Structure 1
């Protein structure tokens, strides 16, 4: 039996033990403060707060306090000030603004208080860690999904949020990186400051874009609001909506996908629990990375149910945790009550003893419940691992799709080879015959070869990715090898007046290389040089043998636009495109070139001061090679996929076609004998295209002739109808038209004029009169071309047709509107005019006698000339304000046109 004194002594030890225990627990507390930027009306923010509370509850040592700024920067600054003054261990901030809270964050940094930034970024580096999803990748995932679903074509609308927050900017950036690679996708963007403004703006878009197919919104809320607007107009089923957040629940994005309102949503994790774990690591002095990215995944109808079930399970587990925590809190309150009673009623030894037993029991019970919570926590971690595995499966699925397209590319090679073989046979047959057929065969051959090269590039890229490339090297005279490729570009150099040279310090350098792969390296580097070097520039190949290092350097130097210094390290990354690169391209050429050079155990580096210089260094001898890679004889037939210039586009082929010496006449006549007679008489001086009247309009749109000779009485449509249709079409309205008819009455003559005919001849007509009439119409058209080519700003005056005036006025208005936009391309101009690039080129060439690119340059130069006369802006300011990419390019273009530099022109005036 315990005596009273022993019992009091035991009680004293118990009280001392618990006092020390509580003291140590208080001392080991980690105080964490979280400043939330947006009110809890936002479902996503509410979810973030909840996950923080749940995670904090799993760590008894954590004391979490959440402040809500309620959409106010002032409130958020005040909350952070409170946390600094309270000397919290770690501060977590979800910024409302990227600039306004920077001073208070730097103040916390100066006080030595770690700061974790979540979700949105701030314009300072004075914080401990950043946690959030990769918003650029989120945008890219949406872009890839739309591209795969739309087969890289169609109308797409991007609905942005306000532009002053980093997630919106980065999501839009990632989305553009993917979508801008596909010219057949037409993207439109609107900004939704709030849901009310979204209703009006999106409604206007639906009215102006009846063929809208996809909508990519900043978040699920905006996407669902846009769906409601589309539903009001009965278009919700024809448009596919993609949102971001992927929250679970009745109003979340996953449920919207399951209900068919959204085509897909992208999981945008809140990162609440991860933020608490980071804070605990920081408080425990553990090393953590500065940037911490959260994984994301696309959720569509294929995985929406699975993701919803997973999230439901997690929610259920979290609910159980909260219930258990409430029980623990209740037990702890009872324990505190008992503890206080022990202090007050210490003299009741029996009661104290009973209470001690009860307290011990409570402790054991609490520990059991904690163990249960730990088990539950492990289950949650396992479920998260399952989600990660599922995301990995999705990744493997996407890889399978890419492999499928690669396989299809393999299948393309067989029919392409057959096409090329047939075309080459026909070229031999027509080698000394019809030049028109020969030119068509050349176009077919060049484009077939270009398609084959693009397919080979894709296959090479996949081989490099899968590390399945095996090189076969042979001993090669490097100078002879280089000269053979050098000659392929001489014609282009002469045409563009480029100073193009190749030099070496040793004509007999022998290098072991795979000619097929190195051939592609040369063509890629030279094609880039010609692509970005202006007419009249310099391109040189310098081959230098380094006797000391037993290596050879191959330098490709040009005087082009160069590469921004900040982007040089990224130039060899796949699909990378420089910020000053406005040319079309796949973005894998340089990456492939580097990979091929790496296979040779060589190196490639780039320098860009004035122009660009690529330096390829290859080791000499065979010590660096595997003997299995060396072959004695090399089949030259392997070099069947040489590259051509990306500049040789359809527009250049059109230029060649339009630059033929003979003008083109379309003769529309249903009488076969008369058609053959007129054609034979006019074919000496003109290129004659014949039509029996059944396909007259289609033939005119296809050929775009210089003049049309049309009979009045035709089987399907009369000459009046054909003439009126062509004159009302903006693409053919400029073409002079002569109507032939057996009727010579005044009514027929008046109807011909009303239909827009330029001349009216009656049958039987005098052949000499017909020839002179054609010459006169063509001569007048050439005079108009010359006048408007040299008087760009005087479109309103003169004798052009109304449609031509309106057409050229529209072009001038668009060019004036985008005058300072150096990236405004021919494709964008054609899109604004609702015609194709080829149609725009043909129309301007026919009306003005120059290409649309030359017209744009002339327009910008005319505007710069006015600014040189009337303003005090410096040359660089004028260059940029007139849309030139650089002052040097502006000065060169100005001098080429006016034979005087901008500076000298200003001084003369």
Structure 2
């Protein structure tokens, strides 16, 4: 044991020392960067380049100081870097001479100094990074000579006359243009860093020298300012800038827009400065003078430059992302490395101290491993419980929604059971034919409810896995043909082309007759439901070696893409106006086909029709096998016999338009309403609107759930049309929720009755609404010029009608036809509208209006009787006097003097 201690203790000490050393292996360098100013994009681009390059060197940090254009401030900042003993100083001098001494001081103190962009008057610096400003000036002079064809006047605009870039660029430019005797420098001006005053100065110079042909600006920012000045003066001058930055309203962008003739590329040198600094800090070979590449960017190469810069920008963004990722990974690695070292040391210490308890430690580790496995198992169970809980919540929501939908499906047959039953109970005398019809209707809808319940029970069996096939070998051709023949009467009634197409006379096959019967009956019933009168439904039976296909095709309304994809979804409700029994039947049909190891598919296109394809494996009974027979599914398909309706020509005072898509309920209500009202019945809102405009009825009854346009939309359309806005609307619906009643009221419905409803309640609602409308008419008929007694929408119509009469008051040929044409209505519609609102015909209404106008003129003016007659549209004063006396029992003169 003692020997073990003697071996492990030195090992632990060595590892600890190694861990401490490793964490400090890489030295961190500190760089101080003194920037003369950061007021322009060129300087900002330089800093961005430096920061981008620094992302590759995690052991270097840089502090940036901004002198804001002050040499004195920059001297103090550099002195502060010297005091802090930074590892390297980067300087972009504000001015050459004032900064020379402080840079020499840093250099003499042993701190490497990298000068960027501008030099000082001394050679005491470690390295210089920047473009040759004299070369830039020379390039500008050469390009000026080219675009001026060797002749022209030039104006130079610079910034900071004492800075080395300005001096070198100006000298290089002058040296070059002096070689061309026909190039003349008209004026050169340098800013004192007061942009507004400087712009005014440039404005004045250009104004005084309109013969200037070209302007050389020492940077693109000044070039843009010069371009704005020229534009304000209405001048088009050739302008050369310097910098060639990428970005909106920068040099390259201005050249591409034609604002500048050219710009001289002046690299910022940010990346190069950092690269040089890294070489210096790492004691690697470096160049003292690092001259950056420059070139002229004009209209010929600006496109290439833009593309290159765009690519570079994308690469830079990618580098930033990668650098960020590397930095994160490095941080993670460093953290994990340190953790690893500490863990190793800790483990060795634990091993050193735990050799005596080695056995116990091993047992503890085993226990920890077991606990870890248990924890993982618990977490996995927790995740599984949450997943199952989520599925259960979703299933609960789906089932609640399904029960809501199926409850809605029950309401219509319940209405057709309860309403006739209540009607029979309330009768004082019994009509055998009517009673028989009502009982047949009740019987039919009771069977419909029974089928819905059966379908629900069968679905429950399928869900529980208790549904089994009871197969037998039958002739599939005669089986399908018999089912199709059941629909012959219905097809004849609806004028539908129903055909069964099969190339075989017989096809023995094993299948469950009851379940396949339900599948075919359900799909063919749906085809009839959504195929218009005069359409077609074709059932085809095809076969190959291994399977048979039954196709049910129609040219009905079809399905949308979403409806088609979810046609067999039990809980899905696509078209809000489609019977929910359809989804239940299709879901059950799919389950029955699946039990046969088959498949059911649907192809459909909106407005073009639907095809259901049932694919079943072709199986025949082998000799010796026992057949299990079962009777075909017995369907209740009793059609109620309509009672004989009298052909009497008797008419009633009021007309009702009834819109209900359920044929049985439509027939029942029609029979009941015909006893007291003229009833016009239709099955869709679109046809209902046509009948409403044709008849202008006294009342409208509409179901809410209708194909295409629903009852809410129809009600809103009725109330928004001045031809029909006066007509009361009663909505019938299986939607009994308060939200639906509020929606109906908002649409303008006068009454809202939920299914199943009481027939007597409906009749009393109709009676009450018609009586209220009649009372309103009588009240208004006695107050023709005071229409405030009626509702706002009708008051607006009558005011417009009276204004139209007054506009044409002196027109003796004013007629009902002319007024109806002006209002955009037919003569009949106008007649019924006015009659419904005022209890007067249009002619009497016009006459009463003229009479009231004449009375006012007689009392309030000195006009003669003849003038009043002509002004109120009478072309004969004698007839006016006769008309006036008939209405008032006084002549116009007697009225005036009374």
Report 1 or 2 for greater relative contact order, CA contacts < 8 Å, sequence distance ≥ 6: 2
Larger Rg: 2
TM over 0.5: no
**Which range, TM-score by smaller chain?**
0.3 to 0.5
Normalization by structure 2: what TM-score?
Answer: 0.36
